[in-house]
Chains A and B, each alone.
Chain A
Amino acid sequence: MIGAILDRLRSARGMRRARLEAFGAIVHLAWPRSLVFVDRVMARRVTRVAGEPAIWQGSEPAVGERVLSAPLEAHLQITNRCGAGCQGCYTGASPDGAPGEWGLAEWKRALDELAAAGVFHVALGGGESASVPWLGELADHARARGIVPNLTTSGLEGLDALVAIAGRFGQINVSLDGLGPTYAAVRGFDGFARADEAIRRLRAVKREVGINVVVTRHNFAELPELFAYAKQRRLSEVELLRFKPSGRGAAAYRDLRCTDEQHRAFLPTVLAATKRHRVRVKVDCSYTPMLAHHSPDRALLAELAVYGCTGGDFLVGAKADGRLTACSFMASPPERPRVTELRSYWERSDAFGAFRTWRTAQEPCASCDYHELCRGGCKVVSAHVTGDASAPDPECPRVQAHRPRVHLPVL
């Protein structure tokens, strides 16, 4: 046991990287897998920084007080081709893909730019990313540039090729929105058996395999069984994603979104399943309002880097034609630069629009104790429901409690 830990530490030693930030630095540890945010004093002790870096001039801000110098991770939609036809697909993927999709050469240049900016991880997705013939070469290029490539797949296409190159990725998650018939209820077709096969085959060759679960009103009650499934398959994590009204999901939103009661019950349900089945759980950034509903320790959330919408700050996305987005769920305006121009766009005062103006929030976010962490909730949901991306997340339990109640006249 101790020998195995020491072996992992030794093998991970050379994969350590750091990036200076105004508050200090972010250090990437390959084992245990983590990004560690440290203040300036500690940054001097644990990084090879010399002199007085320009980024440290002036006062030392708290984490989150200023936009990071570059994203932590980039979400690259390397294709929008996919034949599955899921009813809630947030990219509206199709067998034909998107116009102007980039190829290997363009995505390699994108990785060069991301590495130059100091990005630590990329998450490769689609469409069906596993169907792309140059996926392994792209993963190798990321590694060569010091970036860890991670991958999401439906498991429905390209499995043989993916199993052969699985070791090149940091973490691979397979989308699994339900067991048996629930999968079909959420996705609109019965693909459970194929997704399950993909999970088993990938887990046979790789330890860091998990599942992504888009939580809808149809599979919410099944969450404990999904955790049990993850335990049975010896998966490394369950990642829970809130349903977003994006792509084909916009039309399916009202039928698939969780109920308000389910959102309020989300955190205790998830933690109970985690405790029972002893499987690590991750939640996506849009769930922060549902966590805040239970008034968890704010300091603990900050220490775990639990933030709400960090699009255009901690993360950035790129569409299949390379156009930048603050978040993969948000449409990208035609004039938006490509990801190969990330560094110049990142510094613009108007970059990413509403994603960076969350401090000027409306009530009740403006006076909410969790606003510095939550940042107003999911802007994609706000934009769809209210027409204003900067409006408070309408599914947030605190926002709902703040709404004026309409009292019927007493006759």
Chain B
Amino acid sequence: MARGRILAIKWGMNPNSSSLGVDVTFLLVGATALAMATPLIGALLRWRKAPVDPAK
């Protein structure tokens, strides 16, 4: 069975009411660190299915 892919992760929450803030700390540690984090996020996602809203 195909596992599917995580396409992107937008980290954190943006309190700034004027523009979209993106966490660029990963640019410091590079793709390797992100590649290590992605499977952990995948495991968290599979831990419990999320309800979908609204109906699309």
Q: Using CB atoms, name the residue of chain A closest to B25.
A: A280
- Do the beta carbons of A124 and B17 come within 8 Å of each other? yes
A306 pairs with B22, CB closer than 8 A: yes
Size bracket, chain A contacts: 35 or more
Give chain A interface residues in 306-361, CB to chain B under 8 Å: 306-307, 310, 314-315, 317, 327-329
* Bound CA span A30–B33, Å: 21
Determine whether the beta carbon of B13 is less than 8 Å from that of A38. no
A303-B20 contact in complex given A34-B12, A39-B4, A150-B14, C-beta closer than 8 Å: no
In the complex, the answer to whether A9 meets B25 with C-beta atoms within 8 Å is no
Q: A306-B22, A306-B24, A314-B20 are in contact. Are A48 and B49 (CB under 8 A)?
A: yes
Q: A148 CA to B20 CA in the complex, in Å?
A: 15
Interface residues of B in 23-56 (CB under 8 A from A): 23-28, 30-31, 34, 38, 41-42, 44-54, 56
Point out the residue from B6, B18, B53 that lies within 8 Å of A17, measured CB to CB. B53
Contacts A23-B7, A36-B41, A45-B46 given; does A241 touch B2 at CB 8 Å: no
A43 close to B (CB within 8 Å): yes
Cross-chain contact of B19 among A32, A170, A300, A329 (Cβ < 8 A): A329
- Cβ contact within 8 Å between B8 and A302: yes
CA distance A150 to B19 in the complex (A): 13
Indicate the size class of the contact surface on chain B: 35 or more
Interface locus among A254-262, A284-292, A386-394, A398-406: A284-292
Q: Does A35 contact B (CB under 8 A)?
A: yes
Interface presence of A72 (CB below 8 A) = yes
Give, as a whole number of angstroms, the nearest-CB distance from A259 to chain B. Answer: 21
Partner of B16, one of A43, A239, A299: A239
Q: Determine if A19 and B52 form an interchain contact, defined as CB atoms under 8 angstroms apart.
A: yes
* Minimum Cβ distance to chain A for residue B44 (Å): 6
Q: Mark A41-72, 1 if CB is under 8 A from B, else 0.
A: 11111111100011100000011000001001
Contact of B46 among A46, A90, A317 (CB under 8 A): A46
Inter-chain contact A19/B53, CB cutoff 8 Å? yes
A73, B20: Cβ atoms under 8 Å? Answer: yes
**A365 contact set on B, CB distance < 8 A:** none
Please tell me if A18 contacts chain B, counting CB pairs below 8 Å.
yes
Distance A241 CA – B46 CA, assembled complex (angstroms): 35
Q: Give the distance in Å from the alpha carbon of A37 to the alpha carbon of B6 in the complex.
A: 6
Is B15 touching A173 in the complex (CB atoms < 8 A)? yes
Segment at the interface with B among A114-122, A156-164, A184-192: A114-122
B50 touches A54 (CB 8 A): no
A303 with B34: CB separation less than 8 A: yes
Expressed in whole angstroms, the minimum distance between the Cβ of A121 and any Cβ of chain B is 6
What are the residues of chain B within 8 A of A168 when measuring CB–CB?
none
Q: Smallest CB-CB separation from B37: which chain A residue?
A: A32
CB <8 Å contact, A285 and B51: no
Query: Shortest CB–CB separation between residue A69 and chain B, in angstroms?
Result: 6
The reply to whether B56 and A41 form a contact with Cβ atoms under 8 Å apart is no
Q: Which residue in B13, B19, B24, B30 is a CB contact (below 8 Å) of A286?
A: B19
Instruction: Assess whether A36 is in contact with B45, with CB atoms less than 8 Å apart.
Output: yes
Q: Is there an interface contact between A77 and B17, defined as CB atoms closer than 8 Å?
A: yes
Interface residues of A (CB under 8 A from B): 9, 13, 16-21, 23-25, 27-29, 32-49, 53-55, 62-63, 69, 72-73, 75-77, 90, 116-118, 121, 123-126, 129, 146, 148, 150-152, 169-173, 208, 210, 212, 237, 239, 241, 244, 267, 270-271, 274-275, 280-286, 291, 296-297, 299-300, 302-307, 310, 314-315, 317, 327-329
Can you sample 5 A-B contacts with CB below 8 Å? A24-B7, A73-B14, A75-B16, A317-B18, A329-B19
